[in-house]
Structure formats: C-alpha cells, structure tokens
Amino acid sequence: MKTIDIKNFKNNPEALLVYDIAMKTKKNVVVDGIFGTGKSELLLCILKNNKKGAIILDCEDSRAGFGVQSFIETHSTYFPSLEEIAKLKFSEEKQKIIKNCKLLLMENAGILSIQRLAWIDKIFKKFKRNDIPFGGVQVIYFCNINEYDFYQHLKSHNPRARYFFESFSFMKCAHLFVELKENYLYKNKFHIDLVNSVRKGDAASVDLINKE
C-alpha cells in the first residue's frame, strides 16, 4: 500500500467490515491480524475519514507501519502518551479533546497491560462524566493474537501479569472480533510462517532446509 486510502481494501471484506463499523456504529471491535495484514493502514483510514473526534493511542509508544508518524501529526489533534495517561494530568485543551472524543483507536493493543487499560478507562470515565466502561466511548483494538503465546510465557515468569482482554473494563463491554486475513507484505506462505514463528518465539519449528 502506497497511500492511506480505504480503496486499498476494496477486495478485503474483513477490513471493510471494520471500517463500516467504525464509521456507522458505536460497536467495540477487536481487530486481529498478523504482521503485514494492514492493521496500521486501516486504523489510519478510519482516523482520516471519521467524524467522531477520534484519538489514537499507540500502546507500544512506537510509530510502526507506513507513514504513521507523519500521518498522525497531520490528522490527529491529540496523541496521548502512556506517561501522560499514568499521571492523569491534562491541560484544559487536552481535557476538552478527550471530552469530545467518541472513538478510541488502540494500536498494538496486544501488549496493553490490565493496569494501563484501567488508567485509560479511568480517564475517560472522569472526563466524560460517565461511569460505564471508557465513559461510553467506542473502542477499537488492533492486535496480533499470534503473540498471545508469548504473553503466556511472560505470565509464567510473572503470574500477576494481566493483559487487556482479562480486564473488567474489557469484559464488561460487548465486542465484535474480526480477523484480517489478506497479507499485503508477505505473499509467500514460508515467509508468513517464519514471521509468525519468530514472533511466538518458536522459529525452530520452521523448516528452513526443506522450504518450498
């Protein structure tokens, strides 16, 4: 994909479904897709075209994906950092943006801990003056479910670790789950299997000698 345009997904029914949900409904969605399935691009298409006053939160505090950093600087009025969220202190201007927000887009949500999600929930409840989860804001999580084996590995070393899908705020809300299947970066099955195995910490399972 060379440009941020929903037309790039014209033959991708799963991506178009997520886009329509974001544009036309208030439903919460968990968008799952491996590396290369266009999660960041789809998120930015929603940001570009939405009329709801959206906020993007990159749970990794990175700018992974094509054109994300410059695009966010152009189209997003406020990009809160996890540090700001932890402090729960915002200027009046930022408070106003949060109050007017109706759509929260979470990039790299798979690594979001239960504690950080609780902070986010607390902020939106506070500034929206609404005690339902996230103050009633629509939330769309973009993540890679293939990484959950890695999370379980972390939890084996820290049994107290909890991730966003285990939080009360998440479980109190109804969610649609959509898997992005088309891979725009890797077309070769061997490459896809290799990337998935590396991200899961199991690269030895890929047959490098007898690959097709």
Asked if residue 123 lies in contact with residue 10, where contact means CB atoms within 8 angstroms, the answer is no
DSSP label at residue 141: E
Give the pLDDT confidence score for residue 69 in this predicted structure. Answer: 41
How confident is the model over 20-49, as a mean pLDDT? 91
Largest Cα span, the chain: 61
Among the listed residues 60, 66, 27, the one whose alpha carbon sits nearest the alpha carbon of residue 44: 66
Q: Decide if pLDDT at 66 tops 70.
A: no
DSSP label at residue 92: H
As beta bridge partners, residue 29 has 140, 176
pLDDT band at 74 (very low <50, low <70, confident <90, very high): very low
Give the pLDDT confidence score for residue 138 in this predicted structure. Answer: 95
How confident is the model over 16-29, as a mean pLDDT? 96
Asked if residue 27 lies in contact with residue 138, where contact means CB atoms within 8 angstroms, the answer is yes
Asked if residue 55 lies in contact with residue 105, where contact means CB atoms within 8 angstroms, the answer is yes
Lowest mean pLDDT among 59-63, 124-128, 160-164: 59-63
Strand order in the sheet with 138-143: 54-58, 103-107, 138-143, 28-32, 175-179
Give the pLDDT confidence score for residue 39 in this predicted structure. Answer: 92
